[in-house]
C-alpha cells in the first residue's frame, strides 16, 4: 500500500518529492524512473530543425550506419548521442538495451514472444516489431516480470 501526502506551501520555489520507505524495491524504483522521465526531453533533429521530445514519448533508440535515431509514434529523429552514452544516461529508467544496435522504452511494449535463435520479438504500442537479441533476453524478461 502506498500513502501519498501533499503539503502545500506557497513559499516553495521548487517542488520536492520525498520518499519514505522501509526498503528500496522495484515498485519504488519504477515510480522514481517514471517521475524522472516525465520531465526530461531529448533533442532530436529532422533535417536542420531541432525538436525537444519528451523521453516518455520515445519508443526506442537505434544505431544505423554510425548514426543514432530515436522513434516516437509519429516521427523519427536523428540524435547526436551514441547508444553507449544514451545507455549510461538512461540507467535506472524504463529504457533498456535490447541489442547491440537498439535501446527500447519497456513501457512502450505491448507484447513479447519467442523468436528464432532464443531471441524475443517485441511489439511496440505503434504496432512496430523489434528484436531483442539473446544476450539481453534474460534481463528484459526480468525487468518485465515474465
**What pLDDT sits at residue 40?**
81
Burial code (b: 16+ CB inside 10 Å, e: under 16) for 12-46 equals eeeeeeeeeeeeeeeeeebeebeeebeeeebebee
C-alpha separations of 41 from 84, 108, 127 in Å:
18, 17, 24
What is the tens place of the pLDDT at every residue in 105-140?
A: 999 999 999 988 889 999 999 999 999 999 999 999
Comparing 32 with 7, which gets the higher pLDDT?
A: 7
**What pLDDT sits at residue 24?**
79
Comparing 143 with 25, which gets the higher pLDDT?
A: 143
Q: By CB neighbour count within 10 A (0-12 exposed, 13-18 middle, 19+ buried), where does 146 fall? A: exposed
Computed on alpha carbons and rounded to an integer, the radius of gyration of the chain in Å comes to 17
Nearest residue to 132 (alpha-carbon basis) of 92, 110, 89, 103: 103
Percent of the chain whose pLDDT exceeds 70: 92
What is the tens place of the pLDDT at every residue in 37-72?
A: 556 888 999 998 999 999 989 999 999 999 999 999
Q: What is the pTM of this model?
A: 0.75
Structural domains in the chain plus CATH codes? 26-144 (2.40.50.1020)
Phi/psi at 83 (5° precision): -65, -35
Amino acid at each position: 500500500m502506498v500513502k501519498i501526502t501533499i503539503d502545500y506551501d506557497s513559499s516553495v520555489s521548487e517542488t520536492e518529492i520525498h520518499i519514505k520507505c522501509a526498503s528500496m524495491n522495484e515498485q519504488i524504483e519504477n515510480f522514481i524512473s517514471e517521475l524522472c522521465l516525465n520531465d526530461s526531453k531529448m533533442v532530436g533533429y529532422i533535417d536542420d530543425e531541432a525538436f525537444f521530445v519528451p523521453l516518455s514519448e520515445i519508443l526506442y533508440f537505434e544505431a544505423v550506419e554510425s548514426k543514432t535515431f530515436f522513434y516516437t509514434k509519429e516521427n523519427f529523429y536523428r540524435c547526436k548521442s551514441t547508444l553507449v552514452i544514451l545507455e549510461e544516461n538512461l540507467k535506472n529508467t524504463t529504457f533498456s538495451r535490447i541489442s547491440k544496435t537498439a535501446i527500447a522504452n519497456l513501457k512502450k511494449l505491448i507484447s513479447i514472444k519467442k523468436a528464432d535463435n532464443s531471441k524475443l520479438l517485441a511489439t511496440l504500442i505503434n504496432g512496430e516489431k523489434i528484436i531483442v537479441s539473446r544476450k539481453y533476453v534474460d534481463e528484459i524478461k526480468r525487468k518485465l516480470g515474465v
